[in-house]
């Protein structure tokens, strides 16, 4: 699978809350990074199992808080001079059904794919925007 | 060296001198700067070098941070020769406390004729706000 195909598949799985399917796209020793993560939230996860476990918790919190992805805006994929690496910019329409709030959230991700598996994924996230969607619902975790 | 890479180096030199006024000069006269992660109240988009100049002058005057370096974590040249993606860390100290900081960021630049025509700057607004709060306390 090309980096672009992997991104499309990964995104569909996230939208369907399919954490196991998403984790399977990663190599066993893959590294996930959240360079903008606030204190108390991991900046770096090593290994497919650690990634799966962390995302399972996050997805469960999102589901409990009523937060869901309603739609995907235009996706800009930058192919780079390194054939393993793409940079992806996109907007997502997210809503919190419990709180009756919705907003657009922007994302930018740097993804490295080798032998059809993701080996490195850097997800620069807008934590305040995501936190605003979850505000008022315990636990008050910005990623929830 | 490619034009986009040259612009990144010029930006680096500006930050190392903490010369925010010169950063504005890297933008084309009709260039656009966007901050997709802007918090409410902060601009999300500025059009034109003149508007960016004013913004940078205000931000330099109000700044409580001394900038020292723009460390390049990764540069991605893209299939479009005008477009470059840079993952960086802006390093400096909080003037009031002397506390050293590093702010990671990622930006997508489109460079034409040696000038930035589009600059999408994704910054860690949470960390930035905390640094400003630290200066005030």
User: Do A78 and B79 count as a contact with CB atoms less than 8 A apart?
Assistant: yes
Question: How far does the CA of residue B35 sit from the closest CA of chain A (Å)?
Answer: 10
Out of A35, A80, A142, the one facing B77 most closely (by C-beta) is A80
Condensed to tens digits (0 to 9), the pLDDT of residues B3-36 reads 999 999 999 999 999 999 999 999 999 999 999 9
Condensed to tens digits (0 to 9), the pLDDT of residues B81-134 reads 999 999 999 999 999 999 999 999 999 999 999 999 999 999 999 898 888 888
Q: How many CB pairs under 8 A join A and B?
A: 63
- Residue A16 has a pLDDT of 85
pLDDT of residue A86 exceeding 70: yes
Q: Identify the CA nearest to A4 among candidates A143, A105, A144, A109.
A: A109
Region of poorest pLDDT, from A28-42, A97-111, B68-82: A97-111
Give A-chain residues touching B83 at CB under 8 angstroms: 78
Dump strand ranges (E) for A1-138: 26-33, 44-46, 67-79, 85-96, 101-114, 117-124
Chain mean pLDDT for chain A = 88
Does a cis peptide bond (omega within 30 degrees of 0) precede residue A86?
no
């Amino acid at each position: 699978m090309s980096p672009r195909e992997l991104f499309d598949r990964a995104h569909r799985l996230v939208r369907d809350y399919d954490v196991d399917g998403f984790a399977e796209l990663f190599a066993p020793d893959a590294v996930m990074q959240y360079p903008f993560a606030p204190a108390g939230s991991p900046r770096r996860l090593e290994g497919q199992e650690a990634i799966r476990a962390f995302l399972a918790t996050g997805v469960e919190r999102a589901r409990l808080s009523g937060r869901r992805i309603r739609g995907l805006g235009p996706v800009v994929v930058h192919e780079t001079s390194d054939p393993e690496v793409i940079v992806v910019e996109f907007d997502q329409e997210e809503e919190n059904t419990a709180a009756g709030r919705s907003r657009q959230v922007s994302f930018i991700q740097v993804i490295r794919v080798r032998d059809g598996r993701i080996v490195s994924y850097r997800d620069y996230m807008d934590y305040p925007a995501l936190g605003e969607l979850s505000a008022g619902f315990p636990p008050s975790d910005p990623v929830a | 060296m490619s034009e986009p890479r040259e612009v990144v180096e010029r930006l680096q030199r500006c930050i190392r001198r903490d010369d925010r006024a010169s950063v504005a000069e890297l933008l084309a006269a009709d260039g656009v700067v966007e901050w997709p992660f802007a918090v409410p109240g902060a601009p999300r988009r500025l059009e034109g070098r003149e508007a960016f100049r004013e913004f940078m002058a205000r931000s330099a005057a109000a700044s409580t941070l001394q900038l020292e370096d723009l460390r390049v974590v990764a540069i991605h040249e893209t299939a479009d020769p005008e477009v470059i993606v840079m993952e960086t860390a802006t390093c400096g100290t909080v003037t009031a406390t002397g506390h050293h900081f590093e702010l990671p960021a990622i930006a997508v630049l489109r460079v034409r004729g040696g000038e930035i025509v589009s600059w999408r700057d994704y910054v860690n607004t949470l960390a930035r706000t905390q640094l400003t709060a630290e200066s005030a306390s």
